Structures are given as C-alpha cells and as structure tokens.
C-alpha cells in the first residue's frame, strides 16, 4: 500500500491561494457596498450599457439566465481574442473551471471535467450551433479542437456537468456548444492574420456578414486556412524516465553512414530526448493545412448553414514504440521511423487526421403566440485516419442523417413545456474520401464492413415557476440505439432565488454514454449482444451571488455517486463494466469586472472516494490492468490516475487606455498524485510492439526509482498586449507558457493513459502576433 | 439498462403537482437582459428630441408606454426618482392591440381613451407579443411623435424607429432615421454613432457600421 503524500509546500500554496481569493473577495465586497443598488444600470451611459453581458441559456424551455439549472461558462469572441488561444484545447483550458487537458501518444489530445476523462473524447459532446459534431466510430469529440482558426466563433457555452437529458448519450462530463457568427452578430468584412514563432504557425482568416436589404436576415461567410509547423524537440522537449541503451546493430536513419546508433542513443533518464527523429509538437498531420469554412444564412424563421473543417496532429511516440527499455527494444519492424517503402506510406511520423462536412437546415414554425415547433435536418460527413507504428490503423468515413422536431409550449405564465423527438441514421465503414486508396479499416474490426445504425430519441422538459422564488425543471430523454437497450436520462432541478442577488440550485441527473460504434459492432459480431452504456448518477448544489454589478461569485459542490465505467475486454471482444467510480468535488469562482479591469479566478478540487472494481476485471502483475482510472483497487493510493486533484485558473485584463490593453492568464495543475500511484503499481509500459515478454516482466520496471518530475505541478503563464489604434485595426502580441523560459518542466503536459511510461512533453515558451483589420 | 421505477415515480409526481398547483405571477423571459434594456430606454430619452407640441408643458412627465405582454415587470421602479431633461418619467402599461380590438365590442369609449393615452406616450415599447400587430400599432401612433422601440427582428421593416438586437451576450440597437423623421423626432448624433445599423431611407439606403 502506498501512502498518498502531499508536499507541505503544495498544501500551503493551495491554502494561500484560497485565502487570497477569500481576502480579495472580502476587500472587493467592502469596496462595492455603495455601488450595489438595483438602479445602478440607470446611472450608466449607453456606452457602458453596451459592455454589459447578458447570460445565455442551457435548457430546452426558455428561462432566465440566473435560473439555468447547471454550472455554465460562456467564452465570448472578446475572450477568444484576449486569450490569443491557438486551439480550442488551449482556449477551454484557459477559461473553463475544473477542465483539464492532457496529451495522448496514439490518440488525439483529451479533455475532461470534474475527474471524468477518457482515453478518447467520448465523455463529452462537441456541438456547433446546437448540432452534435462528435465522431462516432472511434474518437468522439475531435473535429476543430486542434484548429488555430477561431474567427468564426461568436461565443462558446460550456455546460459543466452531465447533460444527457438535454443533449443525448455522450454528455457525461460536459457539453461544449460553439455558437458561430451570423449576419445578426457580424456585419462588414474583416481579415485576420496570425503568426506564431517558436511554436511556429501561420493563419489567415476572412469573415464577411451582411444583412439583406429588407433587414430580415442575412448572410455570414467565413474562411480560414493555416499552416501549423509546431515546436521542435529543443523548444518542446520530450522526457522519458529511463536511460536509453548505447549499442545496437541498427541505424535509425538509413542515410546515416556513421557508427550504429539508435533513437535516444545514450539519453539519460530525465534528460530531454534529442538523439531521435522526434516530430514537432503540434505539427499538422501529413503537412496538410488546417482548414475551416462556414457559411450561414438566416431569413425569417429559417437558419441554414454549412461547415467544413480539416485538421489533425502528429503524435509524440510512446515508450512502447520508440524503445523498450534498458533491457531491450521493441519490434524493430514496428518502429515508425523504420519507414518501409512497401507500405506506400510517404510519412514517417505518427498522426491522426480528419475532415468533416456538415449541412444544417433549421426552421421555426410559429403555430401560436405560445406554441411553436423547431425543426432541424442535417447531413454530416466525417473522414478519419490514424497512422501509428508504421501502420495505418484507421481510415474510414461515417455519414449521418439527422432530424429533429421540438415543440415548445407555454400554456400559461407558470408552465413551459418542451417535447420532441430526434432521429439519427449512421452509415459506417465507408471509404475515406481524403485517403481513398486505403480500404476502410479501423482498430477494433480491422477491415471494415459497411453497416448502419439508428438512434431514436424522445426528449422533454417541464419548467414550473412556482412563485417569485422557486422554479423547478424536470426533464428526461429516452434513446434507443441499434446496439443498446433503451437508455434513460432523467434530470431534475430546483432553483431558489431568495433575493435579487442570491441563487441556489439543486440538481440531480443521470447521464449515459453509448460505446463507440466500432466496439458495439465488434461485440455484436462476437455474439456479445447489445452493449451496456456507461451511466453516471450525480448531484450538485450550486450557489451564485451577483454581489454587485462588478462582482459575481459562485460555488458548486458536486458528487458523482455512481459512475459505471465500462472498458473493452480484448479476450472476449466485448465491452463490460470495469468498476464503479465515485468522486466528489468543489468549484469556487469569482469574477470582478469594471469598465477597465476584469479579473476571473476559479479553483477546482476533485477527489475520488471509492472505486469498486468488478471482481472479474481485477488483474495481477504483470498483466495490464483493465482500466487506468485509478490504482486504488490494487492498494496504491486513492486518487484518479489522469487527473490533478487541484486546479486553479486566473485570467486578467486591464485597459490602460482606449488603445492599449493588457491580458494575462495563469493555469496551475497542482500535481498528479494518482498518476504517480499508478506508475508505481505498474511501471512497465505497455506490451505494444514488444518482441520479448521479459521486457515488461515484473523484475524489470521501466521507470527509474524515485522518478517524480512527471507528477509535479504544471504552470502555464500567458501574457498579452493589444493595441487598437482605430476602430478598424487591432494588433495583438501574446507570449505563451512563459515560465518555461526558466524551467521547461513547469510547462509539461502529461499524457493520459501512459500505461506506466511516466513520460511527459513540455509546451514550448512561444510568441505570436495577430492583426485584424475591418474594411 | 433498466429504467428505475423511482425515477418514473418522481417524474410523475412532479408533473402531477405542477399541473394542479395554483397560479403564480407572470415571469419574464430574461430579466437581466430586460434590466439592461430598461436602462437603454431611459437613456434613449436623453438623446431624442420631441417636437414642441409634444413638450409644451414643462411640468408634464415623460411617458414611457409598454404595450403587450410586459417583460419588464418592476424594473422601471428606480427611474421614478430619476428625472430626465428636468421632467419626471412615468411608465404606463397597455393591453395589446388584439385585446383592445376585442374590448371595442364591450366599451368603445374605453378603447378610445386607451388609444389616446398611447398616443400621448413619448416612448412606446412594443412587446414581442405584438409581433403580428407591429404595423397596426405603429400606424396608430405614427402621427403623434412617439419613439417606437421593440426587440424583435423585422421591427424596423414594419416602420419602427429603434430595435434592440443581441450580439452574443451584449445588447445592441439599430435605428431607422427615416421612421424617426416621419415621426418628427430628432435623434442626436451621440445615439446614432452607437447604433449597430442605421436605416436612412425606408430600408432602401442602409449605412453599415
């Protein structure tokens, strides 16, 4: 049993931070006492009123912003611009409380919230204008998260917490809803150019919006193209926790005429790996330029849009494939740099790539003043490919045909009801349009047959305004998938508003996640029947206080008391319950904003309190564990593996004058104790690519004794300066991950599911400039 | 996956309770949004000039009318103590045009009285519930120098003067100078400068901002 030790320093810093927030709040409260009258708004000028933000909603039925029964974060286009974010990952990491972002060695980067994170992004839904954009075969939320092109986004609503009752299967940890610009929100023509150095990239964007002559509706068009070269191994070093051997009969580069050498030849444990053809951090897949196109027309009750995105990234090799350990090497023929021309693969780096094209038609039918029906019809095409270990692992396309009808009825002033249905038809195992020379194949099935699935859904919500102080929300959703039993996701919430300033929300829900299509298909083929979905039962109590027009405070206490985590079983080719995860947490938020200054701080704490591993999924060493959620069942600690229990985020903006604005953001992941526990239990890395089972035998752990660096905190500091000489021109410069100038370990980004590799890669301290001009 | 019985029971109980519960006070769609819009309306008064015939008596209050299903509730209460241009501001609420038409059969004189008061308003906010009656409502007041305001798409097209629009989470507005001229209202440049869109001549010549 390993005892969980937290350093005194870390504890002290957390306590100090909390005290600081508290003291700051108290001081601000004291200062704001006099400006806390309800008629403040009437003292404001029109210019000041135009700067006030009004919250949006996250319910089926319309409601007051303060009554929205969830914790929600909204990121505006001004926030996007101020952050200088180079991807959606980075943007959300900066602004969303208790959201965490980790790398992966052979899948896309992953994001999680409140301790719920997977090896792929299938525990949350990514939406654009309310339409789910998740890939269904293998990856989950994937498209556009890596893109540096963000100029089409008007704002993003992040519903923090489970939301299957509203959004459907997959909304377990959160829902990210990107709302694009349209002719109502953007008029004129604007170009943006961005250039990044050290982590090198180039991006050009143009957007144009115009209203129709009659003032009813209009057209919005956006196009963006980029080139993302990324940061090289010197600026973004990869660090392994073992020493590489120094002798071999092989050359890693066939053109090398020097003495025999190997990747990482002689690199000492903990040294940045330089002696290897390590790809750039953040480099685009296949050197294809990232692309995004969006066109949207609104007219009367019609909303029609089409969208195309293309992207993808290179992976940094995993220990299991770059090298075995000091007792040997992985299968040489399976190494990615050993490029075999017979495979006709012209690239020598691991990568994933995608392209997605979506068409959407929405219409609102107004039957009466208090009765309308929203209709939506949509087609979506998703191409995905993945290349790893000199092998094409995935190359396929999936097509979705989607329809929805939602009736909204307000029978009287107290009741609002929404009820409707959705239908989704998926065609799977289609030929990849971007890579047509490869026949459809995927990780679980190998060569893919063509098949299809259907999802039928019924959903409804009832909002009841009992009186001035009490409002209830009750909703439920039923989903029936070809390869699952009926899935039921209810939610209930009570919102209490005792005063104009105070809001108390009590929320309960059950959310579900159906497994990936490839795994459900594989299970059915293997005679395993329908797949069980992942289930999360949770409750949350949230307090919000609009203390004054300048200061908002919020606190959420949540508990996931029943998260039935499913995991794939290679031996039976089925997915089954691995264990029941239970955790609780606390989120504190404060937002202070004046005409010139804005300061937002949040702290998230998440703690595993139980994990009941299913007896038949328990393993013993050196067998690879069935799940990487925690090493607790094996007696190693009591924390989540892929999670920092504490995370603090701070963003600040100060307008020096009409022309100059300063921006800053700081994110602190306060260490990964659960990851350390896991690697102490299983320090052998995966068997992937092994040519000798003794390589990962119990007597030969990979990780050096006393390896700590991977599990310490991560600290990301960005500073920005904006110059706006006129209404038409804005110039910005942002410095990223600046603490890495002093120590690159401070900027490390850990890998999810390292499988005992214990390695990490640091983000490069970098700089970018941007220029926006409006014609 | 099984549907747990207790979930269904809770669902049924709450729905049942909701349906049989007593009537409660009306609720606005988005109150904080309307707090901001109320403050905008108050500011509009400062930047609009009414013809002399509408402001002959300096002691008469400035009347803000709200016609239709009122989303503001008590949000205007603070302005009772906040005079504009040296005059008190009074808020009056009116039934929608459809209801006024229906009351004609019952009491024609009462209806006329209501219309007269509407025409005396300096500023008339026409609620979304009146969307199908925009043109009729505007025609009712167009010769009486009333600043018509709404927050519904297509309002300017119907002949309205100022329309609120949302840009994300921020409130913006658009102005029809043509309609203002027709109503003999002067809109000051400070207000025009901040408008998101200006309609110069009855929708035919728009100035993009």
Neighbouring residues of A538: CB distance < 8 A, sequence distance ≥ 6: A161, A162, A508, A509, A510, A511, A558, A559, A560, A561, A563
pLDDT per residue as tens digits for the range A199-219:
999 999 999 999 887 767 899
User: Which long-range contacts (C-beta less than 8 Å, at least 24 apart) are formed by A717-721?
Assistant: A717/A664, A717/A665, A717/A666, A718/A83, A718/A84, A718/A94, A718/A663, A718/A664, A718/A665, A718/A666, A719/A662, A719/A663, A719/A664, A720/A82, A720/A83, A720/A84, A720/A662, A720/A663, A720/A664, A721/A660, A721/A661, A721/A662, A721/A663
- Judged by average pLDDT, the poorest of A5-9, A82-86, A412-416 is A5-9
Q: Across the interface, do B153 and A52 touch by the CB < 8 Å criterion?
A: no
Q: Tell me the β-bridge partners of A552.
A: A546, A591
B30 to A54: CB separation less than 8 angstroms, yes or no: yes
A16: pLDDT confidence band, cut at 50, 70 and 90? very low
Instruction: Compute the nearest-CA separation of A219 from chain B (Å).
Output: 14
* Mean pLDDT value across residues A474-501: 94
The band of A64, judged by pLDDT with boundaries at 50, 70 and 90, is: low
Encoded tokens for A770:
């941007």
Residues in chain A: 775
Three-state DSSP at B176 gives strand
Chain B hits for A301, Cβ within 8 Å: none
Q: Is the pLDDT of residue A403 over 50?
A: yes
Q: B168 in contact with A at a CB cutoff of 8 Å?
A: yes
Tell me the pLDDT band of A597, cut-offs 50, 70 and 90: very high
Closest Cα in chain A, distance from residue B158 (Å): 10
Sheet (strand B89-94) strand order: B89-94, B62-67, B123-126, B147-150, B162-167, B170-176, B197-199, B206-208
Question: What domains, with CATH codes, occur in chain B?
Answer: 30-208 (3.40.50.2300)
The tokens for A750 are 């850990």
- Quick: pLDDT tens for A577-593: 999 999 999 999 999 98
CB spacing of B10 vs A492 below 8 angstroms: yes
Q: Is B33 on the interface with A (CB under 8 A)?
A: yes
| Nearest CA-CA partner of A141 in A112, A181, A179, A99 | A112
The confidence score (pLDDT) of residue B6 equals 46
The residue extents of the domains of chain A are 8-241+261-774
User: pLDDT at residue A25 above 50?
Assistant: no
B30 part of contact set with chain A, CB < 8 Å:
yes
Q: Which two tokens stand for residue A65?
A: 């912003």
| C-alpha dihedral sign at A99, A104, A107, A109 | positive
Residue A649 vs residue A245, higher pLDDT: A649
pLDDT at A315: 84
CB contact under 8 A, B171 and A49: yes
The residue that leads in pLDDT, A153 or A249, is: A153
For residue A370, the chain B residue with the least C-alpha distance is: B129
ipTM over 0.95: no
Q: Give residue for tokens 């069935």.
A: A626
How close is the nearest chain B Cα to the Cα of A155, in Å?
7
pLDDT of residue A691: 43
Q: What is the pLDDT of residue A331?
A: 43
- Note the pLDDT tens digit of each residue in A627-671: 999 999 999 999 999 999 999 999 999 999 989 999 999 999 999
Supply the pLDDT for residue A247.
Answer: 53
Mean pLDDT, residues A611-621 = 92
Q: How confident is the model at residue A466 (pLDDT cuts 50, 70, 90)?
A: very high
pLDDT in tens, chain B (209 residues): 444 544 444 445 444 434 333 333 333 333 467 888 999 999 999 899 999 888 777 678 899 999 988 888 778 877 777 888 888 888 999 888 888 777 666 677 888 888 899 999 999 999 988 888 899 999 989 889 999 999 988 889 889 999 998 876 678 899 999 999 999 999 988 888 888 888 876 654 344 34
Which residue has 């301290």 as its token pair? A765
* Residue B138 dihedral angles phi and psi, to the nearest 5°: -65, -40
In this predicted structure, what is the pLDDT of residue A22?
Answer: 37
- Bridge partners, B186 (sequence order): B49
Res A198: pLDDT: 97
- Give the pLDDT score at A622: 76
The predicted structure's pLDDT at residue B29: 32
Burial pattern A529-541, b for ≥16 Cβ within 10 A else e, equals: eebbbbbbbbebe
pLDDT over 90 (residue A516): yes
Give the pLDDT score at A217: 83
- Residue A321 banded pLDDT, cuts 50, 70, 90: low
Cβ of A53 within 8 Å of Cβ of B170? The answer is yes
The residues that bridge with A72 in the sheet, in sequence order, are A159
B26 touches chain A (CB under 8 A): yes
Whether the CB of B5 is below 8 Å from some CB of chain A: the reply is no
End-to-end CA distance of chain B: 56
Q: What is the pLDDT of residue A214?
A: 73
Task: Identify all chain B residues contacting A50, using CB atoms and an 8 Å cutoff.
Answer: 170-172, 194
Tell me the CATH architecture of domain A8-241+261-774. Beta Barrel (2.40)
Q: What is the 3-state secondary structure (H, E, C) of B129-147?
A: HHHHHHHHHHHHHCCCCCE
Partners of B128 in the beta sheet? Answer: none
Whether B82 contacts chain A with CB within 8 A: yes
Select the residue from A38, A40, A52 to test the B interface by mutation, using most B Cβ atoms within 10 A. A52
Q: Which two tokens stand for residue A332?
A: 């040489």
**Which of A97, A95, A96 shows the shortest CA–CA distance to A79?**
A95
Q: Is B10 on the interface with A (CB under 8 A)?
A: yes
φ and ψ of B175, to 5 deg: -130, 140
Residue in chain A nearest B78 by alpha carbon: A39
Q: Minimal Cα distance from B192: which residue of A? A: A46
Report which secondary-structure segment, H or E, holds B11: helix B5-20
Task: Encode pLDDT of A682-712 as tens digits.
Answer: 887 654 444 444 444 555 677 888 899 999 9
Chain A residues whose beta carbon lies within 8 Å of the beta carbon of residue B29? 62-64
Q: Round to whole Å and give the CA distance between A617 and B169.
A: 49
Lookup: tokens for B109: 């004189």
Edge to edge, what strands does the sheet with A131-132 contain? A71-76, A153-160, A174-180, A124-128, A131-132
Higher pLDDT, B64 or A753: B64
- Across the interface, whether the CB atoms of A155 and B169 are under 8 A apart is answered yes
CA distances from B209 to A38, A775, B148, B159, B197 (A): 33, 10, 22, 21, 6
Model confidence at A329, pLDDT cuts 50, 70, 90, reads very low
The pLDDT assigned to A300 comes to 85
CA angle, corner B136, sides to B135 and B140, nearest 5? 115
Instruction: Report CB contact under 8 Å: B23, A213.
Output: no
**Choice between A740 and A339, residue whose per-residue pLDDT is larger:** A740
Task: Kindly identify which residue of chain B lies nearest to residue A183, measuring between CA atoms.
Answer: B167
Mutate to test the interface with B, among A50, A58, A299, A486 (most CBs of B within 10 A): A50
**Rounded CA gap, A563 and A673, in Å?**
21
Model confidence at A295, pLDDT cuts 50, 70, 90, reads: very high
Q: Which two tokens stand for residue B198?
A: 């200006």
User: CA triplet A331, A685, A633: central angle to 5 degrees?
Assistant: 145
pLDDT of A364 higher than 50: yes
Length, in residues, of chain B: 209
- Pick B35's closest partner by Cβ from A41, A57, A185: A41
Mutate to test the interface with A, among B15, B35, B70, B175 (most CBs of A within 10 A): B35
The pLDDT-based confidence of A566 (bands split at 50, 70, 90) is very high
Paired sense of beta strands A188-197 and B89-94, if any: unpaired
Q: Bigger pLDDT: A268 or A337?
A: A268
Among the partner-chain residues A44, A185, A369, the one whose CB lies closest to the CB of B167 is A185
A61 contacts A463 by C-beta, under 8 angstroms: yes
């Amino acid at each position: 049993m390993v005892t969980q030790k937290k350093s005194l320093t870390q504890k002290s810093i957390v306590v100090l931070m909390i005290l600081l927030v508290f003291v700051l709040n108290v001081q601000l409260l004291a200062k704001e006492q006099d400006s806390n009258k309800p008629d403040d708004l009437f003292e404001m000028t029109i210019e000041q009123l135009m700067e006030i933000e009004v919250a949006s909603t996250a319910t089926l039925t319309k409601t007051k912003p303060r009554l929205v029964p969830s914790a929600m974060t909204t990121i505006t286009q001004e926030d996007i611009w101020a952050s200088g974010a180079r991807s959606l990952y980075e943007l959300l990491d900066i602004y969303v409380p208790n959201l965490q972002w980790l790398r992966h060695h052979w899948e896309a980067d992953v994001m999680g919230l409140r301790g719920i994170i997977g090896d792929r992004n299938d525990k949350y839904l990514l939406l654009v204008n309310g339409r789910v954009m998740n890939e269904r075969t293998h990856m989950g939320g994937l498209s556009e998260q890596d893109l540096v092109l963000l100029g089409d986004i008007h704002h993003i609503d992040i519903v923090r917490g489970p939301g299957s009752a509203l959004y459907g299967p997959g909304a377990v940890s959160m829902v990210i809803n990107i709302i694009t610009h349209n002719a109502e929100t953007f008029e004129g023509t604007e170009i943006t150019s961005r250039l990044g150095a050290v982590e090198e990239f180039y991006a050009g964007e143009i957007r144009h919006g115009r209203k129709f002559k009659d003032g009813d509706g209009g057209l919005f068009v956006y196009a963006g193209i980029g080139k993302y070269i990324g940061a090289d191994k010197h600026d973004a070093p990869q660090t392994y926790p073992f020493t590489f051997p120094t002798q071999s009969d092989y050359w890693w580069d066939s053109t090398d005429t020097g003495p025999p050498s190997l990747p990482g030849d002689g690199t000492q444990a903990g040294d940045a790996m330089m002696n290897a053809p390590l790809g750039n951090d953040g480099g685009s897949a296949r050197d294809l330029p990232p692309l995004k196109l969006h066109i949207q027309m609104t007219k009367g009750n019609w909303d029609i849009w089409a969208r195309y995105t293309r992207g993808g990234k290179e992976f940094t090799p995993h220990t299991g494939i770059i090298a075995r350990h000091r007792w040997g090497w992985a299968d040489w023929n399976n190494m990615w740099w050993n490029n075999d021309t017979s495979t006709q693969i012209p690239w020598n780096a691991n990568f994933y790539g995608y392209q997605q094209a979506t068409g959407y038609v929405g219409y609102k039918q107004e039957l009466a003043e208090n009765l309308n029906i929203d209709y939506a019809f949509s087609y979506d095409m998703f191409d995905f490919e993945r290349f790893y270990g000199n092998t094409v692992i995935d190359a396929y396309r999936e097509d979705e045909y989607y329809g929805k009808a939602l009736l909204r009825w307000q029978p009287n002033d107290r009741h609002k009801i929404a009820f409707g249905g959705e239908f989704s038809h998926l065609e799977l195992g289609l030929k990849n349009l971007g890579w047509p020379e490869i026949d459809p194949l995927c990780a679980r099935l190998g060569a893919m047959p063509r098949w299809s699935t259907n999802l039928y859904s019924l959903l409804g919500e009832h909002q009841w305004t009992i009186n001035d102080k009490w409002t209830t929300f009750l909703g439920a959703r039923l989903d029936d998938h070809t390869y699952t039993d009926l899935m039921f996701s209810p939610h209930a919430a009570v919102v209490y508003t005792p005063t104009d300033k105070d809001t108390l929300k009590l929320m309960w829900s059950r959310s579900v996640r159906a497994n990936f299509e490839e795994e459900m298909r594989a299970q059915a083929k293997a005679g395993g029947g329908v797949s069980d979905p992942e289930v999360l039962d949770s409750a949350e109590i949230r307090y919000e206080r609009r203390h004054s027009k300048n200061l908002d405070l919020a606190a959420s206490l949540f508990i996931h008391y029943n998260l039935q985590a499913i995991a794939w079983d290679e031996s039976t080719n089925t997915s089954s319950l691995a264990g029941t995860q239970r955790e609780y947490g606390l989120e504190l938020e404060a937002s202070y904003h004046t005409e010139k200054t804005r300061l937002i701080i949040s702290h998230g704490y998440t703690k595993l309190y139980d994990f009941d591993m299913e007896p038949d999924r328990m393993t013993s060493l050196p067998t690879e564990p069935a799940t990487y959620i925690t090493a607790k069942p094996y007696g190693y600690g009591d924390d989540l593996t892929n999670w920092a229990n504490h995370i603090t985020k701070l963003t600040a903006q100060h307008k020096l004058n009409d022309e100059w604005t300063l921006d800053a953001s700081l994110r602190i992941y306060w260490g990964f104790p659960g990851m350390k526990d896991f690697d102490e239990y299983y320090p052998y890395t995966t068997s992937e690519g092994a040519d000798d089972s003794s390589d990962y035998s119990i007597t030969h752990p990979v990780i050096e004794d006393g390896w700590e660096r991977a599990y310490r905190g991560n600290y990301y500091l960005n500073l920005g300066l904006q110059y706006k000489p006129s209404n038409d021109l804005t110039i910005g410069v942002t410095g990223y991950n600046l603490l890495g100038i002093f120590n690159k370990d401070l900027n490390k980004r850990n890998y999810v599911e390292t499988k005992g590799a214990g390695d990490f890669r640091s983000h490069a301290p970098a700089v970018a400039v941007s220029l926006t001009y409006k014609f | 996956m099984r549907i747990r019985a207790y979930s269904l029971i809770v669902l049924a109980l709450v729905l049942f309770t909701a349906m049989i519960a007593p009537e409660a006070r009306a609720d606005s769609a988005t109150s904080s949004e309307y707090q901001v819009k109320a403050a905008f309306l108050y500011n509009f008064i400062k930047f609009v000039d009414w013809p002399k015939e509408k402001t002959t008596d300096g002691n008469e209050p400035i009347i803000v009318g709200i016609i239709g299903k009122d989303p503001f509730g008590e949000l205007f209460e603070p302005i009772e103590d906040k005079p504009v241009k040296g005059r008190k501001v009074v808020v009056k609420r009116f039934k929608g045009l459809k209801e006024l038409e229906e009351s004609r059969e019952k009491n024609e004189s009462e209806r006329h009285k209501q219309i007269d008061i509407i025409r005396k308003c300096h500023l008339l906010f026409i609620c979304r519930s009146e969307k199908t009656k925009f043109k009729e409502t505007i025609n009712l007041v167009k010769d009486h120098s009333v600043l018509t305001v709404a927050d519904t798409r297509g309002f300017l097209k119907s002949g309205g003067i100022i329309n609120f629009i949302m840009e994300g989470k921020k409130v913006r507005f658009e102005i029809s100078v043509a309609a203002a001229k027709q109503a003999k209202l002067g809109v000051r440049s400070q207000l025009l400068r901040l408008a998101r869109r200006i309609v110069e001549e009855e929708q035919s010549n728009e100035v993009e901002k």
